[in-house]
A and B are shown apart, each in its own frame.
Chain A
Amino acid sequence: DAMVIQNPRYQVTQFGKPVTLSCSQTLNHNVMYWYQQKSSQAPKLLFHYYDKDFNNEADTPDNFQSRRPNTSFCFLDIRSPGLGDAAMYLCATSSSQGTSVYQPQHFGDGTRLSIL
């Protein structure tokens, strides 16, 4: 089945140790998103790629970076994780025909990040 796949499902890292989370999709969608979701809260958008164009949200900390080497893959890099970065990280995709019309987003099952 076409889907959004995130690996790993669970990730444990040490305070300050860089970590990379990955996302792949078989939907061939041109837009990919990264969200942070903390317990009992709605997902919070960190950034998105429209094709190869990177778009950062104004309140996303500099500690968070992303790479999209091709249409199917996207990575989230956390350069120096702090205790406050422990959360579920969700990848989503959608298709867009022009920058004003976006189809609904499809989410992966997330990576739960713990910081020791």
Chain B
Amino acid sequence: QKEVEQDPGPLSVPEGAIVSLNCTYSNSAFQYFMWYRQYSRKGPELLMYTYSSGNKEDGRFTAQVDKSSKYISLFIRDSQPSDSATYLCAMSANYKLSFGAGTTVTVRA
């Protein structure tokens, strides 16, 4: 079993839809929970991070962490074609990031 599980998709949604992305994990020692967005031929861009259970909002993005269920989510409201990218969840207990497989999202105009 992988430490971090993420459905690789692909996920295709119409413009304006809500995009819902999820990851589950097995390591209780993880302290930071992150979402990265990676466009083709670019490096991962840190979208959001949190270190506690609960919700965190930033504009159209909401990150949720449920440590009791070992489950994290990212929601993108009012999705735009520019949101088309691969979304990677990542978690860390120390210096090392444990990544999910990444979910490729396409927002159709």
Contact between B42 and A43 (Cβ–Cβ < 8 Å)? no
Point out the residues of chain A lying under 8 angstroms from B44, CB to CB: 43, 90, 107
Point out the residues of chain A lying under 8 angstroms from B97, CB to CB: 43, 45, 105
Would A110 and B42 be within 8 Å (CB), given that A42-B101, A104-B32 are in contact?
yes
Contact between B46 and A45 (Cβ–Cβ < 8 Å)? no
Contact between A43 and B95 (Cβ–Cβ < 8 Å)? no
Q: Which of A33, A43, A104, A110 contacts B99 (CB 8 A)?
A: A43
Q: How many residues of A contact B (CB 8 A)?
A: 29
CA distance A28 to B24 in the complex (A): 33
Q: Using an 8 Å CB-CB cutoff, how does the interface string of A75-95 with B read, 1 for contact, 0 for none?
A: 000000000000010100010
**Residue on A nearest B8 in the bound complex, by CB:** A40
Contact between B96 and A42 (Cβ–Cβ < 8 Å)? no
B10 to chain A: closest CB distance in Å? 11
Contact between A42 and B100 (Cβ–Cβ < 8 Å)? yes
Point out the residues of chain A lying under 8 angstroms from B101, CB to CB: 41-42
**Additional 18 contacts, C-beta under 8 A, given A42-B101, A112-B41:** A6-B43, A31-B95, A33-B95, A42-B88, A42-B99, A42-B100, A42-B102, A45-B96, A45-B97, A48-B95, A96-B95, A99-B94, A104-B49, A105-B46, A106-B46, A107-B46, A108-B43, A109-B42
Between A and B, 15 residue pairs with Cβ closer than 8 Å are A4-B43, A6-B43, A42-B102, A48-B95, A88-B41, A96-B95, A99-B95, A102-B94, A104-B46, A106-B46, A107-B45, A107-B46, A110-B41, A110-B42, A110-B43
A residues near B, CB below 8 A? Answer: 4, 6, 31, 33, 40-43, 45, 48, 50, 55, 88, 90, 94, 96, 99-110, 112
